[in-house]
Chains A and B, each alone.
Chain A
């Protein structure tokens, strides 16, 4: 969103001079073309995103079942607040809690780890290209595959992690990482961190490389210690970029589905909001209740997004004032 806010102010330049040179005719002509070329994309987006979203909102106010989507009755907010409504379901609240714990835990670990990896790669060295390739590898692996790979490595009897941890004396006995309800969320976080830290590191790296080098030079001339340089120069300068990356990851983590579904299926202890929604919709065929839960997730994400957009806008305005 930062981008959208900024684009408005910065891109007035390319098109504006022409309209000055050629008068209003060309500008009108161009904006007519713009709408014509936008039309297919907008139409498609309306059909595949706007319409289904509106239908989901509508379904959430009905008692529709998956087997007969056409046969429904309007029941108002019963799917939300009724006796069997989502908000009355302890299972829903557990999934909210699980999702929040997952999101906070994985995003904060990824941020710290991503920063570390970015600093490592930003350091000029012969290893740099190799490190960058190593970093991209987990990112290139499909989530389903990484969930399966790690499930195998975390296997309670034959898993390589249990084997070495027992051999090294870290564990007394093998642990059932994915089956034990006390451990499974951590196992999921572990896999998510492995898979998405590269994204975080990449964005952090981009922010790091935008820090002007004279900042470092000045610090060097003044003999500032490396840690102090990082703390007082690097970190404040990359903070906006870091914040963008964190919010992107946060929005992603709140709708987590694949990794949890593959690793622990519908297990109650690790059910995320998205897993809950799909279970209601498809497994239980309760389109009304499922849609209501889906809308609650949608609004949660919308609130996070809007809060962030407003915060960014006011900051941008403050900066330009």
Chain B
């Protein structure tokens, strides 16, 4: 990597350095504004009130938390937040619990049919959600879960499970085999190996996989839209999509932006804090092989 710099910014002629550097800084600035501006503008809008809403100023003249109060007053937004937390947390817990042992089996044991299994798990992650929608609808009704969080917990697993298994298998394969051999010598069984020996070493992988699963469940829209109907059972993405004014046809953009900021800020903080782990998880799912 260090060599690319030598290529892209030749050191010999001084004016060339500055030209290349200016270009680089310019591009970096444009890119940063492009990435960050929409969210900053959402924050700005969420702090505006009245006619100021409709002026394109970035820093509000009279910042107010009015829109935030409105969201909680006019919507069961606290309920929606709690729903999202419960569903996403439950999905993460369940998918980790089930996929960790499975990842050991697929990543560390050589058995017949393993390649085929891996392939079918991967293809399950390619399913379009709508391809299971009617079957899932029937299933949800059978279990009496329609319009309840249980339905979402259940349905979202379809999205996260293939993916968590897949990523954990990739991480599991990278562990040194001496670790497991020592365990076998000590007479530790597979379950002991997974939870007492691998788990402590694998925690970065678990955090990254868990976070990705959390984000997927937190953001899930189609199932939540279809399997819940009452406003109290909605998760935040659906709640935000359905925030509408009291009769007027212009949407209440202030409260929508306030809700959006509240839903997004925790995610952004998590992603920024665990940046490296997230990047490792995302790329493990796709490039390494």
Residues of A within 8 A of B (CB): 1-8, 10-19, 26-27, 30-31, 33-35, 37-38, 40-42, 44-45, 47-49, 51-56, 59, 64, 66, 69, 117, 120, 122-125, 127, 130-146, 148-150, 152-153, 155, 157-158, 160, 163-164, 194, 198-199, 202-203, 206-207, 209, 213, 216-217, 219-220, 226, 229, 241, 244-245, 248, 251, 254-255, 257-258, 261-262, 273-274, 277-278, 281-282, 287, 290-291, 294-295, 297-298, 301-302, 305, 309
Residues of B within 8 A of A (CB): 1-8, 24-25, 27-28, 31-32, 34-36, 38-39, 41-42, 45, 53-54, 56, 98-99, 101-102, 104-112, 114-115, 117-119, 121-124, 126-139, 141, 154-155, 157-158, 161-162, 165-166, 169-170, 173, 177, 180-181, 184, 189-191, 194, 215, 218-219, 221-222, 225-226, 236-238, 240-241, 253, 256-257, 260, 263-264, 267-268, 270-272, 275, 278-279, 282-283, 286-289
Given the interface pairs A131-B31, A149-B38, the reply to whether A136 lies near B278 with Cβ below 8 Å is yes
Given the interface pairs A41-B99, A145-B263, A202-B283, the reply to whether A290 lies near B28 with Cβ below 8 Å is no
* Interface CB pairs A-B, < 8 A, 26: A2-B289, A3-B118, A4-B115, A5-B289, A7-B115, A14-B177, A30-B109, A37-B190, A41-B99, A42-B102, A56-B135, A120-B28, A130-B32, A131-B31, A137-B271, A141-B267, A144-B221, A144-B241, A145-B264, A148-B240, A150-B38, A158-B54, A158-B253, A207-B287, A277-B133, A309-B119
Contact across chains for A203 and B287 when beta carbons are under 8 A apart: yes
Given the interface pairs A131-B31, A244-B287, A255-B129, the reply to whether A213 lies near B271 with Cβ below 8 Å is no
Q: How far is the CB of B86 from chain A (nearest CB, A)?
A: 17
Instruction: Report the nearest A residue to B253, measured CB to CB.
Output: A152
Dominant secondary structure of chain B at its interface with chain A: helix
Q: Which residues of A contact B264 (CB under 8 A)?
A: 140-142, 145
Q: Which residues of A contact B110 (CB under 8 A)?
A: 11-12, 14-16, 19, 27, 31
Contact across chains for B7 and A219 when beta carbons are under 8 A apart: yes
- CA distance in complex: A258, B34 (Å): 22
Contact across chains for A134 and B32 when beta carbons are under 8 A apart: yes
